[in-house]
Chain A
Amino acid sequence: MNAFDYEAPQSVDEAISLLSAGNGNVGMLAGGTDLIAQLKEGRKIDLMLDLKQIPEATALSFDEDSGLSIGAATPCSKIYSYDVVKSRYPALVDCTSLIGSIQIQNRGTVGGNFCNASPAADTPPAVIVLGSTCRIAGANGTREVAAEDFFTGPGQSVLQPGEFLVSIQVPTPVANSGAFFLRFIPRNEMDIAVANAAASVVLDSDKTTIQEARVAIGAVAPTPLLVADAGAALVGKAVDDEDAIEAACAASRAAARPISDMRGTIEQRIHLSGVLTRRAIQGAIQRAKES
């Protein structure tokens, strides 16, 4: 590991000025569960910028009007232990509670999971189907980007030099809605997704018809994917319409553009996109019914 400077700015503005003063070779430290491993594997940085002293980056708050705000440096275990998340955002519990181990969950953050931008990241699909936005700070102020538009490629995001992710805003769930996330791994913990999927649905008042639906899949393309066709296949359909659910699964399989690697083959991942889409939709419908 090479020598580098370390700074812990106290505010968004201070972070922005440190970022712009650096020569671009800055490692942003939230939980460090990716960054520190990368440094040990040879990544070289000039400056480590620790976000954990910035109030906006560590806040976790809920407001009925504006929804849930997750500071980019908020650890997963804090998120899934938050009462509002437990009662209103179970899909966020699904994804934050299965990353790594409990020790990793105590350090690792959703913001870091986004910025590391692994195609197999476990939090983006759920965050995407919940209709979330990413709040990004830069020299020219703050901008907002839809979660599904945040990723541009493996390890790549829309973040420009001098910008950083401050928080993720998740809207308040509407009545009769439900969301669900799951992944497929060969083991039962401590693993990287071979494929993952999330779904959210809004049902009508008697909970028999799907009014709105979103499906997102991961680890099957260079970025997490919002599969618009999968959601569209469900809208206006009965909750027990097997053909509609199968059409959504087919849409996920069609959207998947996976690679073969030691974690899975193209064929296996395309197949799993369908299997996990079905299970995610069924889970989301179940939760909407119970809501």
Chain B
Amino acid sequence: MATKTEDYLGITDYKVIGTRPIRHDGVDKVVGRARYGADIDMAGMLHGAVVRSPHAHARIKSIDTSKAEALSGVKAVITVEDLPLQEDKIEDLGEGAANLRHLRANVLADGKVLYHGHAVAAVAATDIHTAQEAVDLIDVEYEVLQPVLTVQEAMEEDAPLLLEDQTTESLGEDTGEKSNVCTHFRHELGDVEKGFAEAEFVIEREFDTATVHQGYIEPQNATALWGADDQITVWCSTQGAFTVREQTAQILDVPVSQVKVVPMEIGGGFGGKIRIYLEPLAAILSRQTGRPVKMVMSRTEVLQATGPTAGSFIKCKMGVDKAGKLVAAYAYMAYESGGFPGSWAAPGAMCIFAPYNIPNVLIDGYEVLVNKPQTMAYRAPGATNAAFASETIIDEICEQLVVDPLEFRLNNSAREGTRRADGPVFPRIGNEECVKTALSSEHYATQLSGKNRGRGIASGFWFNVGLKSSAAASVNSDGTVSLVEGSTDIGGTRTSIAMQLAEVLGIRAEDVKPQVADTDSIGETDVTGGSRTTFATGWAAYQCALDIKEQLIERAAKLWEISADDVVFDDGTFSSSDSSKTISFKELAGMLDETGGPVMGRATVNPSGVGGAFAVMVVDIEVDTETGKVEILRVSMIQDAGKAVYPSYVEGQMQGGVAQGIGWALNEEYAYNGDGLLANASLLDYRMPTCLDLPMIETHIVEVPNPGHPYGVRGVGEVPIVPPAAAVANAIYDAVGVRMTNLPMSPGEVLKALWTKNGGNGTA
């Protein structure tokens, strides 16, 4: 078995890792000094605004910009004609990918608009009010087409086509058939038909989940300055400065070296701030005017026209034998791509049955165009939808078997050596440990009592990713270290990365000064996504520290006139192997000038030993059977972090994921009317939970070290959003006996299900 074990160091007496120092960016964020994209102001700066489609699906017959151009204060107006043409070429975004031709047509519509809010033109003016007035003066003539809003509709044979040249790629081959279905893929393990034939019983259900938005607090923004020397600088809010540089350079058809992206502080992303929207518009408007152009989306624009994550239709079927062992599973997973190809069925399919050891599995995945914004990643993208289906069925199996749902999970648990349906064999994972921790928790041991109350359990998996990271660090003469890295800090990664460097060098976390750099100041670094940053950029910082350590050993050797082989370094102190000489890191840092000059460490990594993450959620709820409203009474989240570098951040990720997952479960949805217009593009009616909707979320960090990381780190950011929807659905069933198979499980939906169960609406 190809389990990688060589990277984990097995340290048990950490000095820095596992502690909770004051975060490096804390003061600036608390006092409001941290600089976000919307804070940018420059001399001569223009303000941009975007003309957006009032239709879900339409052909653009003409665009008349003359009235806008004539308005005093308007400096430039652009349409897709102002963007260089693009060939079909797939661009890897780090999390997801984009065909450049489609990326261009998403940035500014090319002949057709494919969703309500699709950008059609952009203007730059001396102030934002003039720019908005100019937007209203641009006349766009549309031929309105029939919108397609669900995957089921879009997959029908006579469905209107969104992209007229789109054909289906099925099992790796282009079928040549024109269709809204972009991709059909399959994973197969064992013999699923034989498995179902051997099953004692089989449960099968269909599930629908709504399109949902990440709900990051800070809207997308971009300011660009196209200099007279053709050097382009972009300031923006992004999860990855380098992917913005790459996409922007491609769309502008300039070399990457001509674009410098300065990542500002980021007010959340969750997968939604990877694709570009405003950056090339601001750049072209700047080129045309010679002035910096700033663009900031409104909340309505964010909801209408950035990348929500996919709604889905899933058919799921699972069978167990007499002994209560899962023997076969099947899933049909059709996910929305939105207006352009690329969706999240693939990662969903990697996760759907992952917590279980099932010998026979078949998964069919479909990625389907619908007249909604092009979907984007959202915290374990695809996996929440998938777990909603599979974990509901697991719950039903447990009910039929009359077994404890946690004992069932233990009895069927995936573990080291279990093969996932999509191929990989698990190395050491913490799935069983999470289930055992749930079983022994005070929460689970506490009996839930009261009318219309119920408890739900669900498991979740996310594979996590590695990808490229770079770090550079210089030793200061006062014994501190300045660390430069390329990962946008969303969840406190400056500190969790700095701590890994500090651990190696035996210095305090506070003695590291971390800084997120622009694309000209650090080596290439992939997005802050895939729960990779503390794992991979942390690893780069670890390597960087080893580089510094080696150089400082040389310096100590030089100072003592001995061989470097005779210098040992332990806990922040260098000593000669005969212990006759010692010098602290800090003392040696003060002697760099006389031992050869400055010391810098550097490292680039692309680690493969990614550790997958498992989680188990226990939730207690109460249903108001007169209104259908679900109240969350108590939640415990149990999650394997490998090693929690900064436990408070891990707990924060767990709580944040649960909060978002409960929002997805209960009320969040893109509400489209029959014409495909988004009716709830505001945070008033796009109902994310507030703090009054959630109890304190209890966290249990499990630490089963990842064999593929020196400190055993696993990504922690995504998996906590996977179990909540299923856990809440299972709790509703336990409380009032209705199986909710559609998300969101809003009061109206729960009420309808209760009426169906009880026959009539109870008021007749």
Report which A residues bind B (CB closer than 8 A). Answer: 1-3, 42, 184, 186-192, 194, 249, 253, 261-265, 267-268, 271-272, 274-275
Contacts and interface: CB of A to CB of B under 8 A. Distances in A.
B689 interface: yes
Contact of B690 (A1, A188, A192, A272): A188
Nearest to A3: B129
Contacts of B628: 268
A184 B748 CA distance: 11
A42 B298 CA distance: 13
Interface in B733-761: 746-748, 751-752, 761
Given A187-B667, A187-B692, A262-B671, A192 B684 contact: yes
Contact of B680 (A253, A262, A267, A274): A262
A57 to B, nearest CB: 27
Contact of A268 (B685, B687, B748): B748
A192 B680 CA distance: 12
Contact of A186 (B129, B747, B763): B747
Contacts of A265: 748
A1 B689 contact: no
Contacts of B761: 267, 271
A192 B683 CA distance: 11
Given A265-B748, A268-B748, A187 B685 contact: no
A274 B751 contact: no
Given A186-B747, A261-B679, A275-B626, A192 B763 contact: no
A275 B747 CA distance: 14
- Between B628, B680, B761, B763, the greatest number of chain A beta carbons within 10 A of the residue's beta carbon is seen for B763
Interface string B123-143: 000000100110010000000
Contact of A187 (B133, B136, B689): B689
Contacts of A263: 685
Interface string B655-693: 000000000001100010000000110001101011011
Contacts of A1: 129, 132
B3 to A, nearest CB: 46
B667 A190 contact: no
Contacts of B648: none
Interface in B88-133: 129, 132-133
Nearest to B671: A262
B693 A187 contact: yes
Nearest to A278: B626
Contacts of A2: 129, 133
B305 to A, nearest CB: 16
Contact of B687 (A42, A187, A253, A264): A187
B257 interface: no
A191 B684 contact: yes
Given A187-B689, A261-B679, A263-B685, 18 more contacts: A2-B129, A3-B129, A184-B627, A184-B629, A184-B747, A188-B692, A190-B690, A191-B684, A194-B748, A249-B763, A262-B679, A264-B748, A268-B628, A271-B761, A271-B763, A272-B627, A274-B763, A275-B626
Contacts of A262: 671, 679-680, 685
Contacts of A272: 627
Given A2-B129, A264-B748, A186 B667 contact: yes
A246 B657 CA distance: 43
Contacts of A274: 763
Cβ-closest 6 pairs across A and B? A262-B671, A188-B692, A275-B626, A268-B748, A262-B679, A189-B692
Interface string B625-643: 0111100000000000000
Contacts of B762: 271
Given A2-B129, A186-B667, A192 B748 contact: no
Contacts, number: 59
A274 B762 CA distance: 11
Contacts of A268: 628, 747-748, 751-752
Contacts of B687: 186-187, 191
A42 B685 CA distance: 19
A275 B666 CA distance: 21
A186 B747 CA distance: 6
29 contacts: A1-B129, A184-B747, A186-B629, A186-B746, A187-B667, A187-B687, A187-B689, A187-B690, A187-B692, A187-B693, A188-B692, A188-B693, A189-B690, A191-B684, A194-B748, A249-B763, A253-B763, A262-B671, A262-B680, A262-B685, A267-B761, A268-B747, A268-B748, A268-B751, A268-B752, A271-B762, A271-B763, A274-B763, A275-B627
A1 B133 CA distance: 8
Contacts of B748: 194, 264-265, 268
Contacts of B666: 186
Contacts of B133: 2
A264 B748 CA distance: 7
A184 B761 CA distance: 17
A249 B129 CA distance: 50
Contacts of A190: 684, 690
A271 B685 contact: no
Nearest to B628: A268
Contacts of A3: 129
A191 B689 CA distance: 11
B667 to A, nearest CB: 5
A194 B747 CA distance: 10
Contacts of B746: 186
A274 B689 CA distance: 26
B372 to A, nearest CB: 15
Nearest to B746: A186
B661 to A, nearest CB: 16
A271 B680 CA distance: 23
A3 B18 CA distance: 56
Nearest to A268: B748
A27 B442 CA distance: 58
Nearest to A272: B627
Interface in B683-737: 684-685, 687, 689-690, 692-693
- Between A2, A42, A263, A274, the greatest number of chain B beta carbons within 10 A of the residue's beta carbon is seen for A263
Nearest to B629: A186
A83 B751 CA distance: 39
A186 B692 CA distance: 12
A264 B129 CA distance: 35
Nearest to B680: A262
- Between A186, A187, A275, the greatest number of chain B beta carbons within 10 A of the residue's beta carbon is seen for A186
A227 B68 CA distance: 52
A157 to B, nearest CB: 22
A134 B693 CA distance: 36
A191 B667 CA distance: 12
Nearest to A1: B129
Nearest to B133: A2
A2 B135 CA distance: 13
A184 B627 CA distance: 8
Contacts of B679: 261-262
A28 B626 CA distance: 40
A234 B464 CA distance: 63
Nearest to B666: A186
Nearest to A270: B763
Contacts of B629: 184, 186
Nearest to A250: B763
